[in-house]
């Protein structure tokens, strides 16, 4: 009696079958179509943004049009299938890594349960191995003998509109965080498979607005926000005024100054949106503290590179802009702020795209004399490396008690951790600026860190539920340290994290604040000649 009753209980009487997920799939994965409905996809790119990008030299974003993922007809260009297959062939020839990734996967499943999207949704197509199979199946069908002869038996399938829609669905349910690749015995970088899927989709005009609009803004004004030079300068000056009100220290800022020793580049969100603002105030105090000869640029006013989420041509162009500006200003080297994917681009792709940056000098700290040989080719130092080195040489006056209101934990932002190995520097800084900080469980930090769930341009509000699902593994680990150690602050070194973890905490762990490590540094700095107010909440204190 009871068993049939239970089966009834698992189905909704009111809703249609598409909403009631109801247990184990009964069909082969290839036979389950991707269905788009409000809330499960990010909005398509606006026609004018695609047209603008397509009009730019060196870029190709064809088929600008009005369309919607919910429509049956996506208004694909004539011959779209040939365009995709030709695009795939070109990429297989051009990127040896892609060819290897397509061929060498043995489907061992080591990656399957490592993806935060899979862990939050339970959708098998979010297993990295299966997400890659979405492309691999087409590769087999058209580019391998086995697939051509055996077809579906060899896991091959023809490229159809349904397959294309599935690519769109699942390449935008991947944040390219690369946690899966940590566990792959063959070292397959599934993020690069996602990157290829997105590149191929752009060939036929399928992309999302939350990526293409910031990318076109970056191309036009130098930053995601589309801030023009005077606005960017005003925002930084406002922050300098705030610092002066709080600490009595007059901050000297300079913009586009030729001959400065250092060019400082950070995500534009740091100078425009909470809580990144406080991180930017931390940078200002730090540089003032050591009297660094540096300049901001109102042209290279963005660290984040949304080209990484579109195609390699745009990534190269946006990255090139930072170096062109460094060359124009004649600086010796670049310091980069707390950003995520900027560092992946700089550390992993910049050298073959725009490097080596021989017109710059190998970064050498004028305060400590340390040469950053790890940045010998890119000439770009991470703010955490730079700060940790200052602390190590005793160059900063720090008072931990100024962070007494903080009980912190540290979230390893995916790209700095996994793409450049920056794991110990932020921890070293935390050791010196806060009394209280604790680690989250071992399988959720360092190389194994869980993504915020909204990276790679998925930080858009129309997919809030999807973001909350994808961020569950991270939020779950944060909850553990909140329950166990009364943690009240989640620190990180990435601008997208600062924006997205804030929403993630508001849903999963209300009351837990999110901050950049440099904000905590700014809080703790003891400045010469300061006239500091009672700052119960550090730089966030309202006075």
Residues that bind other proteins (CB under 8 A): 1-3, 5-6, 9-15, 19-25, 40, 112-113, 118-124, 127, 209-210, 213-214, 221, 224-228, 230-231, 269, 272-274, 441, 443-444, 459-461, 464-465, 468-469, 472-473, 476-477, 480, 499, 502-503, 506-508, 510
Q: How far apart are CA 344 and CA 340, in angstroms?
A: 7
Phi, psi of 173, deg, nearest 5:
-120, 45
Q: Between residues 5 and 96, which has the closer beta carbon with respect to other proteins? A: 5
Token pair for 471: 């961020």
Q: Between residues 227 and 286, which has the closer beta carbon with respect to other proteins? A: 227
CB 133, min distance to other proteins, A: 14
End-to-end CA distance of the chain: 67
Cα torsion 433, 439, 442, 443: sign? negative
CB 434, min distance to other proteins, A: 24
In the numeric block, the tokens 């060498």 are attached to: 104
Q: How far apart are CA 416 and CA 411, in angstroms?
A: 11
CB 445, min distance to other proteins, A: 10
Helix axes 190-203, 128-143, angle to 10 degrees: 60
Cβ neighbours of residue 195 under 8 Å, at least 6 residues apart? 176, 308, 309
CB 123, min distance to other proteins, A: 6
CB 290, min distance to other proteins, A: 31
CB 120, min distance to other proteins, A: 7
Q: How far apart are CA 448 and CA 114, in angstroms?
A: 9
Q: Between β-strands 333-336 and 294-296, what pairing exists: parallel, antiparallel or unpaired?
A: unpaired
Q: Between residues 363 and 457, which has the closer beta carbon with respect to other proteins? A: 457
CB 14, min distance to other proteins, A: 7
CA 46: distance to chain centroid? 22
Three-state DSSP string of 2-43: HHHHHHHHCCCCCCCCCCCCCCCCCCCHHHCCCCCCCCCCCC
Q: How far apart are CA 13 and CA 24, in angstroms?
A: 19
Q: Between residues 19 and 376, which has the closer beta carbon with respect to other proteins? A: 19
Give the Cβ contact number of residue 54 at 10 Å.
15
Q: Between residues 206 and 477, which has the closer beta carbon with respect to other proteins? A: 477
Q: Between residues 103 and 462, which has the closer beta carbon with respect to other proteins? A: 462
CB 463, min distance to other proteins, A: 10
Q: How far is CA 104 from CA 97, 100, 107, 108, 188, in A?
A: 10, 6, 9, 11, 8
Reference 366, options 305, 287, 482; nearest CA is: 287
CB 518, min distance to other proteins, A: 19
- Inter-residue contact 111 to 180 (CB < 8 Å): yes
Q: Between residues 388 and 472, which has the closer beta carbon with respect to other proteins? A: 472
Q: How far apart are CA 206 and CA 193, in angstroms?
A: 17
Q: Between residues 20 and 150, which has the closer beta carbon with respect to other proteins? A: 20
Q: Between residues 22 and 330, which has the closer beta carbon with respect to other proteins? A: 22
CB 313, min distance to other proteins, A: 21
Q: How far apart are CA 491 and CA 517, in angstroms?
A: 6
Reference 389, options 416, 374, 367; nearest CA is: 367
Q: Between residues 269 and 521, which has the closer beta carbon with respect to other proteins? A: 269
């Amino acid at each position: 009696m009871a068993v049939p009753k239970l089966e009834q209980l698992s189905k909704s009487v009111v809703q249609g079958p598409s909403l009631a997920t109801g247990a184990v799939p009964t069909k082969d994965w290839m036979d389950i179509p991707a269905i788009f409905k409000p809330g499960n996809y990010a909005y398509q790119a606006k026609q004018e943004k695609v047209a603008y990008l397509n009009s730019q030299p060196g870029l190709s974003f064809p088929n600008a049009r009005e369309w919607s993922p919910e429509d049956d007809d996506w208004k694909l260009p004539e011959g779209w299938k040939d365009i995709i297959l030709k695009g795939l062939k070109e990429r297989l020839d051009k990127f040896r890594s892609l060819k290897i990734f397509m061929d060498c996967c043995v489907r061992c499943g080591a990656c399957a349960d490592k993806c935060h999207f899979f862990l939050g949704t339970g959708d098998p197509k979010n297993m990295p191995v299966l997400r890659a199979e979405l492309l691999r199946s087409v590769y087999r069908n058209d580019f391998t003998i086995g697939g051509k002869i055996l077809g579906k038996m060899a896991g091959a399938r023809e490229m159809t509109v349904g397959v294309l829609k599935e690519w769109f669905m699942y390449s935008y349910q991947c944040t390219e965080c690369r946690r899966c690749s940590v566990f792959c015995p063959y070292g397959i970088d599934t993020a690069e498979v996602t990157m290829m899927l997105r590149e191929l989709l752009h060939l036929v005009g399928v992309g999302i607005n939350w990526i293409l609009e910031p990318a076109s803004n970056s191309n036009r004004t130098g930053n995601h926000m589309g801030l023009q030079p005077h606005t960017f300068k005003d925002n930084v000056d406002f922050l300098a005024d705030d610092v002066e009100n709080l600490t009595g220290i007059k901050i000297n800022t300079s913009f586009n100054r030729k001959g400065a020793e250092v060019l400082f580049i950070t995500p534009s969100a740091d100078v425009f949106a909470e809580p990144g603002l406080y991180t930017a105030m931390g940078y200002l105090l730090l540089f003032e503290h050591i009297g660094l000869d540096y300049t901001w640029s109102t042209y290279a006013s963005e660290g984040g590179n949304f080209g990484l989420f579109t195609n390699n041509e745009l990534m190269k162009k946006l990255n090139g802009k930072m170096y062109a500006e460094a060359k124009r200003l004649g600086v010796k080297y670049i310091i980069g702020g707390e950003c995520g994917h900027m560092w992946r681009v700089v550390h992993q792709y910049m050298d073959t795209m725009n490097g080596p940056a021989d017109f710059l000098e190998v970064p050498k700290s004028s305060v400590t004399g340390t040469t950053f040989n790890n940045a010998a080719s890119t000439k770009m130092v991470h703010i955490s490396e730079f700060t940790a080195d200052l602390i190590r040489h005793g160059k900063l006056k720090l008072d931990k008690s100024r962070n007494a209101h903080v009980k912190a934990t540290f979230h390893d932002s995916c790209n700095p951790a996994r793409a450049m190995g920056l794991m110990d520097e932020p921890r070293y800084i935390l050791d010196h600026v806060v009394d209280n900080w604790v680690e989250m469980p071992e399988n959720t930090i360092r190389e194994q860190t869980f993504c915020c769930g909204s990276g790679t341009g998925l930080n858009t509000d129309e997919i809030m539920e999807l973001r909350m699902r994808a961020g569950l593994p991270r939020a779950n680990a944060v909850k553990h340290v909140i329950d166990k150690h009364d943690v009240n602050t989640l620190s990180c070194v990435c601008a997208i994290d600062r924006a997205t973890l804030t929403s993630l905490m508001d849903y999963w762990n209300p009351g837990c604040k999110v901050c950049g490590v440099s904000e905590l540094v700014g809080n703790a700095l003891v400045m010469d000649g300061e006239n500091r107010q009672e700052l119960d909440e550090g730089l966030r204190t309202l006075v």
